[in-house]
A and B are shown apart, each in its own frame.
Chain A
Amino acid sequence: MNIVIMGCGRVGAQLAALFDEDGHKVTILDTESYSFRRLPSSFKGTALIGDGTDADYLKRAGIEEADAFIAVTQGDNRNVMAAQIAKHIFNVPKVVCRIYDPLREELYHALGLETISPTTIGAQLLRDKVVG
């Protein structure tokens, strides 16, 4: 699969490495080149400096041929905007978006985005560790 990831933080970098190991073609976007230090030296994909909320950078990252787009920057709103561009403008078949704020996650899930809230999942996991 062609996979575009926006945001090369801890999650983005690890995700990119996982897909890369599985043999997928990965392009990862971040606004700062310093973030790419998190990628393993074995990473064979493409690392690109650019803002994923700008359609031009997404095109440069190959969004038009992408099978999947994943938005995992620190900003909920940036993720939401980029995911909507990928889904509604470029018709990427699989779009997943991280949203920390549970209420915002609920809304965008209802609006048809595939969303994950680490806040909700993290809190549940921690509770289960304690009382489960």
Chain B
Amino acid sequence: MYIIVVGGGKVGFYLTSALLNEGHEVLILEKDPARCGAICEELGSVVVRGDGCEARTQADVGTERADMLIAVTDEDEDNLVACQVAKHMFKVPRTIARINNPKNEALFKKLGIDVTVSSTNFILEHIQEQVPTHPLVHLLTLGGGALEVVEVRIPPNSPVVGKRVRDITFPPDSVICLMVGRWEAKVPTPDTILEAEAQVIAVTRPEAEGALRAALTG
């Protein structure tokens, strides 16, 4: 694949070297001449000096034949514009934007960016995973944020301990798809009994998250 990376900072640099290792044709667009020199020295001639948000720069590097453009500067607005220019002027099939402000995730989706990667959210989620007291952990978002996969740990004093799945009232569009107990992991049936300290993997809607947590943890 021909992949254009906008922004030759740390993320752009390591991303490019990983993509090159996978055998892709990669090109970095970077404004700063000193950064360009440093990248060129490390990775060879894979960098072009220029503003990746400019249509002219994108035209110069053959963006119309790119399979993917990934914008990873540390400014959200620059990443948005680089992706929009690629998508609308050069019909790049897949555009990926790094975002710093997690609130921009929904906006970028709405404005047609195919994939957004939020490093802030990644770090937050990992912190949640590592903090055992947290009652509900986000594992994955599906369908552009319409559904999410979460993990809930059933506390020993929860009212659902010892109950069958069929006897628990779940919020709409919420379902338990896996229960990891002390001895085994299983896909629950309506007759599965919930154990204390079990980890439950569930699918839910973001707006039903609070109700699901309440239903499972009391």
- Using a CB-CB cutoff of 8 Å, which residues 47-75 of chain A contact chain B? 53-56, 75
Residue from the list A53, A54, A103 in contact with B56, Cβ < 8 A:
A103
CB distance from A40 to the nearest CB of B (A): 30
CB<8 Å pairs between A and B, sample of 12: A54-B103, A55-B103, A55-B107, A78-B77, A81-B76, A84-B80, A89-B107, A103-B56, A104-B54, A104-B81, A107-B85, A111-B84
- Using a CB-CB cutoff of 8 Å, which residues 60-90 of chain B contact chain A? 75-78, 80-81, 84-85, 88-89
Residue interface mask A13-55, B partner, CB < 8 A = 1 = 0000000000000000000000000000000000000000111
CB distance from A123 to the nearest CB of B (A): 16
Determine the interface band of chain A, counting residues with CB < 8 A from chain B: 20 to 34
A88 adjacent to B53 (CB under 8 Å): no
| Residues of chain B whose beta carbon lies under 8 Å from any beta carbon of chain A | 53-56, 75-78, 80-81, 84-85, 88-89, 101, 103, 107, 110-111
Task: Determine chain B's interface SS by DSSP, over half rule.
Answer: helix
B54 adjacent to A81 (CB under 8 Å): no
In the bound complex, what is the Cα–Cα distance between A81 and B77 (angstroms)? 6
CB distance from A84 to the nearest CB of B (A): 6
A77 adjacent to B55 (CB under 8 Å): no
A107 adjacent to B80 (CB under 8 Å): no
| Residues of chain A whose beta carbon lies under 8 Å from any beta carbon of chain B | 53-56, 75-78, 80-81, 84-85, 88-89, 101, 103-104, 107, 110-111
B54 adjacent to A107 (CB under 8 Å): no
In the bound complex, what is the Cα–Cα distance between A53 and B108 (angstroms)? 12
A84 adjacent to B88 (CB under 8 Å): no
